Amino acid sequence: MSALAAPASGQPFPIVVEKLTKRFGSFTAVDSVSFAVNPGEVFGWLGPNGAGKTTTIRMLLGLLKPSSGKASVLEMDPATQTKAMQAKVGYMSQQFTLYTDLTARENIRFYGRVYGLSRQELAERQAEIIEMAGLTGRENSLTGNLSGGWKQRLALGCAIVHRPKVVFLDEPTAGVDPISRRDFWGLIYAMAKKGVTVLVTTHYMDEAELCQRVGFISQGRLVAMDSPARLKETQMRGQVLEIHTPDPDRAVRILKAAQQAGKLPLDEVALYGAQIHAVVPNAAEFKGAVVHLLRSENVPVESIDWIAPTLEDVFISAVKPRQMERRP
């Protein structure tokens, strides 16, 4: 259904989106979005709250009908071949959807039966998923009594119990501790190595760095798409100065006031932990002016360095013009 060239592997794209649009009355949630995902790729779909990430996934799953445009998942149209397509994909939503009053084993068995697995297939998958989720010895524990990390791994296992070739993960690690998030991403890449294509949304930029490619969506529009490394090279407007000061909160207020007053050409000022990132047109040219401004306001500057942008810097840079467009 797509004029896109086939991937280098010669296989068809498992996910193709062409001018996909979804309107709710006068509000356009997804606005003429186009992209394709390669076989076995881990593709990140990033954007602020309300940007259209989940609406895109819901259309790809056949849960919402597009207002215009089209999509293909495993060469099937989610809008017209919904049941056939859903039988071959996995989906893990933002909300925990397993039955908390069932054991881990019972949840796996339930989802396996929903997907029509035979008794032998289900027995094999049950053992594999319990091992994958690190639940050996806890398979008979009530799901509601498991920790957040175990619940997420179990939920992933139930989503892929039928061995789908495409998996949609909608903010799968929200609220999970960093160690559990790292373990979860190990499972994602284990799937990808077996040829499973994964489309994942996340708010965590360290997770986005793990994706092979990333698409940025803002107010319904795709604003940038490439590998994290290439995005840093091509999408960053300006250069990043990292400022260390014992009073970062006051320093940010001063720099933002100077930005608003037009005293300094600061594109963005934000706290990153205890440091400040200030984006300027040229780091060498404006470094001295930033130091002078802060010290004139009695804010000491311990160090100021030009650094490579983080993916979060690039994300803000890519999204900001779109946000400015929509301002009244």
Condensed to tens digits (0 to 9), the pLDDT of residues 108-150 reads 999 999 999 999 999 999 999 999 989 999 999 999 999 888 9
* Domain end marker among 226, 252, 270: 226
Same domain, 188 and 300: no
191 and 246 in one domain?
no
Residues 207 and 241 in one domain: no
Same domain, 215 and 247: no
C-beta separation of 225 from 41 below 8 A: no
DSSP E strands in the chain: the ranges are 15-24, 27-37, 42-46, 68-73, 89-92, 166-170, 197-201, 213-218, 221-226, 239-244, 268-272, 275-280, 303-307
- Same domain for 211 and 276: no
Q: pLDDT averaged over the chain? A: 91
Q: How many residues does this entry show for the chain?
A: 328
pLDDT at 4: 52
Per-residue pLDDT band at 1 (split at 50, 70, 90): very low
Range of the domain at 90: 15-226
Residue 321 lies in a domain: no
User: In the chain, how many domains are there?
Assistant: 2
Residue 250 DSSP code: H
The C-alpha atoms of residue 199 and residue 215 are separated, in whole angstroms, by 10
209, 280: one domain: no
Q: Same domain, yes or no, for 83 and 120?
A: yes
Q: 151 and 87: one domain?
A: yes
* pLDDT classification of 7: cutoffs 50, 70, 90: low
At residue 108, what is the residue type?
Answer: I
* Domain CATH code at residue 269: 3.30.70.1510
Query: Among residues 226, 261, 292, which one ends one of the domains?
Result: 226
pLDDT tens, position by position, 252-284: 999 999 999 999 999 899 998 889 999 999 999
Does residue 154 share a domain with residue 49? Answer: yes
